Amino acid sequence: MGTTDQPVLLIVEDDEGLQNQFRWSFDNYEVVIAGDRTSAVEAIQRHHPAVVTLDLGLPPDPTNASEGLAALQEILLLEPFTKIIVVTGNDDHTVALQAIENGAYDFCQKPIDIDSLKLIVDRATYLASLEKEIRVLKTEKNHSGVLSNIIGTSPKLAKVLQTVEKVADTDASILILGESGTGKELIAQGIHQLSARNNKPLVAINCAAIPGELLESELFGYEKGAFTGAVKTTPGKIEKAAGGTLFLDEIGDMPISLQAKILRFLEQRVFERVGGREEIPVDIRIVCATHRNIQTLITDKLFREDLYYRIGEIEIPLPALHERQGDIAVLAKTFLTQFSSQRNNELKGFTDAALEALNHYSWPGNIRELKNTIKRAVILSEGTQITKEDLGLEPDKHATAPITDLKQARAQAELEAVTNALFTSDDNVATAAKILGITRPTLYALMEKLGIKR
């Protein structure tokens, strides 16, 4: 995002004459110039342009397109929605087509006809704007609906939610990985609700909570007389999930003896009830989750490798709470509002010391621990704000090592400052900008750069 209201156009070109020509020609854009791949990547990270013109003949060898093609891939890796218009020599038609195959939006050959290039750039800018608006509307729709209970604004959480939106409406088997308390079941619910199966049941079973000898009958059901106490034929979780989604929580704790039967079911989509001989077909989608390291379990012969490949067609790793920069304050405020409303008290927020304690604790129990901490603080608090003492956080033995990288430290400081200002101002951008001592456009630019949504 630029510092003006004009759209940003990144020109990647090492010829100074062409650089000047582009500056003069695109006066309705905020033009940013980069002369090589390294500076182009830096400009992408700083300005996030929607459109880039990229000369494929970049130094150190302008006669070879390899550096330009490498820049193309690196830019799209950082900003996959960027429209890149590659500029090639007259005899480089094959290279231009290769760039298109690699994700470029369009190409323009030298000598450049500036009017034609301006037309391509304007069209790309308009298309990028429309696509961004569609993405925002889609995200807002999903977040205001089925994903609204997944709270947070951090880039890592945003990446998870983007993945959920992409994979939900497929029948691929999903494996959700993450520490206890990170919200794996909420993600499974979001996947189901965004899928075409959302009018059918989501049936969940915790493989760690049921003894191994009972888990099989819970999953597959049983026939009358299959064992002592089986007084009638009872369908299992798999049958109950017919047409919908079966969520196998903590599948890493499933007994190895049962894993073979689950694998057979996943491969053939038929099963037999315990004590029965009839094969029953069923159409369900499988979503699994575990807090355990599957690769270690496989090495220790506690988990079947073939089952892992079957359930993990797509993996969704969930970040721990301490990795979700800025989300601690957002979640804490949400829980405070929830519990204060239940108790009808007058708590207005957190003291600065309490907020600092929340942000600098590592939360080994993740969201579950944070929620319990806020609930306890609301009950114990005697003032109008939650204090550091109300939180009762012990000295953090799990605190992460201090950041030594200057760029990372600056980014984290910016994220904490902006998040805390928005937190304090109840999401009022004008007030938050005053707290930070910057203008509203600068704050909007920072929020865009840091991936913070109101």
Spell out the domains of the chain, with CATH numbers in brackets. 8-135 (3.40.50.2300), 155-319 (3.40.50.300), 323-399 (1.10.8.60), 401-454 (1.10.10)
Q: What is the pLDDT of residues 3-13, one digit of tens each?
A: 557 899 999 99
Q: What is the pLDDT of residues 33-55, one digit of tens each?
A: 999 999 999 999 888 899 999 99
Residue 398, pLDDT score? 47
* Mean pLDDT computed over every residue of the chain: 86
Flag whether pLDDT at 144 surpasses 70. Answer: no
Distance CA 342, CA 45 (A): 44
Look up tokens 């004008």; give the residue. 430
Q: What is the pLDDT of residues 358-377, one digit of tens each?
A: 988 999 999 999 999 999 99
Among 34-43, 353-362, 421-430, which is the least confidently predicted range?
A: 421-430
Strands 174-177 and 202-206: unpaired
Measured in degrees and rounded to the nearest 5, phi and psi for residue 315 equal: -105, 140
Residue 153, pLDDT score? 77
- Coil vs helix vs strand at 166: helix
Picking from 263, 221, 255, 214, the residue whose alpha carbon sits closest to that of residue 238 is 221
In terms of C-beta density within 10 A (0-12 exposed, 13-18 middle, 19 or more buried), how is residue 395 classed?
exposed
Residue 142, pLDDT score? 53
Assigned token pair, 131: 């696509």
Distance CA 101, CA 96 (A): 9
* Structure confidence at residue 139 as a pLDDT band (50, 70, 90): low
Terminal-residue alpha carbon distance, the chain? 17
Flag whether pLDDT at 423 surpasses 60. Answer: yes
User: Residue 37 contacts by C-beta under 8 Å, 6 or more apart in sequence?
Assistant: 12, 58, 67, 68, 70, 71, 74
